[in-house]
Amino acid sequence: MKLGLPARNPKPTPPPPPLSASLWLLATAAVTLGPHAVTHLPAWLSAACVLALIWRAWALRTGAPRSHALLVMLLACVAALAIRLHYGHFFGKDPGVALLALLLCLKQHEIASSRDIRAAVLLAFFLQLGLFFYDQSLPVAALALTGTLLATVSLLALQTDRFRPTASLRLGGLMLVQAIPFLLVLFVLFPRIPGPLWGLPADAHTGMTGLSDNMSPGSISQLGLSEAIAFRAEFSGTPPSPPQRYWRGPVLTDFDGRTWRAATVGSDAQPSVVVAGPAHSYRLTIEPHNQRWLLALEHPVSADATVRFARDQQLLATTPLRSRTRIEIVSHPEAVAGLSESRAVLERALRLPSGSSPRAVATGAEIGRNSATPVATLQAVLDHIAGLGLTYTLRPPLLGENTVDEFLYTTQLGFCEHFASSFTVLARAAGLPARVVTGYQGGEINPVDGVMVVRQSDAHAWAEVWLPERGWQRVDPTALAAPSRIESGLAASLPSGDPLPLFARPAMRWLRDMRHRWEALSNAWNQTVIGFSAGDQRRLLERLGFSEPDWKALTGLLGTLSVALMLGLFAWAMRQRARRDPLDGTWQAFCNKFARKGCPRLPWEGPMDYAERLAGRYPRQAPMLRAIARTYARLRYGRASSRHDAEIRELRTRVRQLRID
């Protein structure tokens, strides 16, 4: 017998999300993960993510059924295992972000309801934030913002069954614009954490380029083609002329015949130079290079941050530079360094490796014997080098065992490190204490914002010679072969046919112009947004009258301001609504009047129903209330009359004059 029982209902499943939401979520994932893939994800993981997203796009396009939950689960487990194997651990930001990136891709295949889309969007928001663990530059911020907009549109797509992309994009953009006041409040008030954004020591700082603490033939010419910015300098007065732009970096004293290395010297809290002459005051913004040295014009005498002054006149930070660092420096170009240099230092600056480059050592020794004074010796060494007819090139031939001999007397083609190294060897052989100094020479002033930009291609090596009574004196032997290198930069001094950095080529004028603008913009971003430090925050708050703000005061201020902003936005929205139409405003005023008496209009209540309800409560005003409601209803829903505006004014007067008792 068949019983007429209703079929057993399966557990009710929520309706699937609209296709448009799934598509926008897919785009969100692509835009969010793209920069991750470029900056840090291992290639195999990027490929897996791309495959997962393409698979999802295909499934959405063909309307294929949702992938089996077990399959997705299995893929997630395999991928997690692979990530564990790749990084060796699960702790720290790299494996964490990699895992989340992968889960965002796999989550796409698990979407069955609106709830899943919301969860995936939250994950995407977090990964957009995670971009800043790796890169805080303007393009990445723009990409993160685009991702945020797409994610917002994905959420909007859930809210409507008639999805229009342009309208939703506009609405999403408007919502982000409305968030700007909150962004500003958070930016200014959120407590700053010192150190890198995601301070995990194991994997935080790797792969930075720049000078190193040793120099061998070829190590600086490698940098010659790099357009990366080493640091920027903003001068408060006139910047020094191009030939004076010597930015001192690591000082190299020890030589083994091929490689120059820095000697270990002590450092003090005060500079060891004798101050003389005028000063340059400037603010340096150094890109991170994971080493302690700073760069400064000769010779730094004071700096605003905690720095150390090494006894070889290097300026050192107290910790390696792991993030972009700003520092105010005052330098005196005419200051005298090393007047009372210790005997040990001078002896070390005379040491030569035994048996290396015998011809140069012999020549130097002969020059030393034939000269009467140290100054004459120096001049004789320089004359000797100038007399050899050496050529300056970015592509020097490889050198063998006796690097100095081969360069001076055989190949005669070299870059600045060859000149500096050879000169120092000759000078030492002639009995002059000498050392190699590396750093940057030059710098270009960006016409857009007037900031001097120094690039890796400006890296340079020169020498210093110690003369009695005069201390350490800078000697740049490169100038002997290529004086224009010092006067007008690398491009002018290389023989034609040598490869040049792209932007240094004369034909690339417009490109250079664009780069100037872009770099000025990035610098402004770095200085004002990224560089907004705990100190800046404190100074700003103190100017606003908050002395000694601690985190409690900040949190309180943050909360208060957020609430105030919310209320402000709310009031603005209410005003906008009322202002849209004078008739609406009048009716709103009528309703508000009774709402204040504890009898608000219910949202779904029409005008006549509301008036009837009010009439029951205020019988003495009943005729007036009904008349107002009737007039409003006619004006709002009835035939448009020629006296429309006048009638609205009359109605407004009646509402205003209405007294409730």
* Residue selected from 3, 604, 642, 659 as contacting another protein according to rule CB under 8 A: 604
Does the protein bind another protein through residue 633 (CB under 8 A)? yes
Does the protein bind another protein through residue 584 (CB under 8 A)? yes
Please tell me which residue in 109, 312, 332, 416 is annotated as part of the active site. Answer: 416
What residues numbered 5-34 form the site for another protein, per CB under 8 A? 6, 9, 12
Q: Positive or negative, the Cα torsion across 382, 386, 391, 392?
A: positive
Whether the CB-CB separation of 452 and 239 falls below 8 Å is answered with yes
Of 142, 147, 156, 102, nearest to 128 by C-alpha is 147
Catalytic residue check, 416:
yes
Count of other CB atoms within 10 angstroms of residue 566 = 12
Q: Tell me whether residue 184 or residue 574 sits nearer to another protein (CB atom).
A: 574
Q: Of 236-244, 328-336, 407-415, 637-645, which segment contacts another protein by CB under 8 A?
A: 637-645
- Beta bridge partner(s), residue 460: 439
Of 535, 533, 530, nearest to 135 by C-alpha is 530
Of 426, 430, 399, 412, nearest to 481 by C-alpha is 412
- For residue 406, what is the DSSP state? I
Shortest distance, CB of residue 641 to another protein, whole angstroms?
Answer: 12
Give the number of residues in contact with another protein, rule: CB under 8 A: 19
> How far is residue 586's CA from residue 655's CA, in Å, rounded to a whole number?
7
> How far is residue 63's CA from residue 67's CA, in Å, rounded to a whole number?
11
Whether the CB-CB separation of 192 and 533 falls below 8 Å is answered with yes
Shortest distance, CB of residue 638 to another protein, whole angstroms?
Answer: 4
Which tokens sit at 275? 């101050």
Residue that the structure tokens 């402004």 belong to: 524
Does the protein bind another protein through residue 603 (CB under 8 A)? yes
Q: How open is the CA angle 370-474-353, to the nearest 5 degrees? A: 60
Catalytic residue check, 161:
no
* Residue selected from 2, 8, 543, 639 as contacting another protein according to rule CB under 8 A: 639
Q: Of 115-123, 129-137, 464-472, 636-644, which segment contacts another protein by CB under 8 A?
A: 636-644
* Residue selected from 70, 264, 278, 637 as contacting another protein according to rule CB under 8 A: 637
Of 181, 187, 284, 183, nearest to 536 by C-alpha is 187
Does the protein bind another protein through residue 605 (CB under 8 A)? yes
Beta-sheet pairing, 413-414 with 325-331:
unpaired
* Residue selected from 183, 502, 608, 646 as contacting another protein according to rule CB under 8 A: 608
Of 133, 168, 186, nearest to 28 by C-alpha is 168
Does the protein bind another protein through residue 389 (CB under 8 A)? no
Please tell me which residue in 109, 280, 460, 516 is annotated as part of the active site. Answer: 460
Q: Tell me whether residue 19 or residue 362 sits nearer to another protein (CB atom).
A: 19
Q: Tell me whether residue 20 or residue 219 sits nearer to another protein (CB atom).
A: 20
What residues numbered 156-215 form the site for another protein, per CB under 8 A? 161
Question: Which stretch of DSSP H or E encloses residue 563?
Answer: helix 551-579
Catalytic residue check, 460:
yes
Does the protein bind another protein through residue 4 (CB under 8 A)? no
Does the protein bind another protein through residue 510 (CB under 8 A)? no
Q: Tell me whether residue 304 or residue 609 sits nearer to another protein (CB atom).
A: 609
Active site residues: 416, 460, 476
Give the binding site for another protein (CB under 8 A).
6, 9, 12, 161, 584, 602-609, 633-634, 636-639
